[in-house]
Amino acid sequence: MKIDRLCVAYYSPTHTSRAVARTVGDGFGISRREEHDLTTDRSDSPILVKDSVCIVAAPVYGGLLAPVAARRIARLRAENSVAVPVAVYGNRDYEDALVQLRDLLHGQGFTVLCGAAFVGEHSYSRPGMPIAEGRPDTQDLREAEAFGRQAYASLTRQLGIATPPPADARDFALTYDAPLEQLVSTPPMKGNVPYKTLGPSTPQAPVVGDLCYGCGECVDLCPTGAISLQDGRSTTDITRCTKCCACVKSCPVGARTFDTPYTAMLHERFSARREPETFI
């Protein structure tokens, strides 16, 4: 049996989970690499992940995995593969999201190697009331790459490979004789099982201002297809909006705004910098 490639998968409306996942992957250094961006891919067809180390990153909503992210990640089907779950949260708390992601990946056939939680700019952050603005920053990404290196060292140690082959070799492979679940153990991670319960979400969506000229960029970036163009301007189906604010952060003219009292509360209570947490 062998592991001979790296897989990076993520759900990342505002690109924070993508940045962390890619950088953790860089730490592994395995050059044979595939990537699955699940953010706007609304297909329900399975994705086979075979003979791989798979880094899977997703954002936290209210202390749990974003529900859409969980549905998209459930498309992954593992065959002889280990997973590294990574929760990305907006500087408040990730609560049960990491163990939820761990359990989801285990249910899809992965052997979970280790896990981590990193901070990304909160989707509600805005000028004047920043919440983890600009994160993951340079320091975060250094730690993400270091985590990848440490995770790779843990994998080779548990597989009993004293001298791993060059990770950039064309014929790179980590070979072993027993099933992964017999060789690789999962460390304890922060979080509770059963997971917390979320209350009902209040239907709400960003507001479109007069600056909108119907360029359609937000239409392409919306993970749930909630945005369409009508009469030369964008409009949002409030029942499909997940309040990820990808449209707000990506609008080239600042025509979209999202005003919620939670922004002020989060800015006041959760401005102190929180650091990544890793479990190896």
Q: 123-172: per-residue pLDDT in tens?
A: 999 989 999 999 999 999 999 999 999 999 999 999 999 999 998 888 99
Long-range contacts of 268-274 (CB under 8 A, 24+ apart): 269/92, 270/90, 270/91, 270/92, 270/131, 270/132, 271/91, 271/130, 271/131, 273/91, 273/119, 273/132, 274/91, 274/119, 274/132
Radius of gyration of the chain (CA): 19
Q: Who contacts 210 (Cβ-Cβ below 8 Å, separation ≥6)?
A: 255
What was the pLDDT predicted at 149?
Answer: 97
61 within 8 A of 159, measured Cβ to Cβ? no
What was the pLDDT predicted at 69?
Answer: 97
Q: Do 129 and 213 reside in the same domain of the chain?
A: no
Q: Kindly report, residue by residue over 18-64, the tens digit of the pLDDT.
A: 999 999 999 999 999 999 999 999 999 999 999 999 999 999 999 99
Q: Kindly report, residue by residue over 213-262, the tens digit of the pLDDT.
A: 999 999 999 999 999 999 889 999 999 999 999 999 999 999 999 988 88
> Domain residues for 44?
2-195
Total domains in the chain come to 2
Tell me the pTM: 0.96
What was the pLDDT predicted at 170?
Answer: 86
Q: Do 148 and 216 reside in the same domain of the chain?
A: no
Q: Do 148 and 250 reside in the same domain of the chain?
A: no
State the CATH number of the domain containing residue 96: 3.40.50.360
Binned at pLDDT 50, 70 and 90, residue 267 comes out as: very high
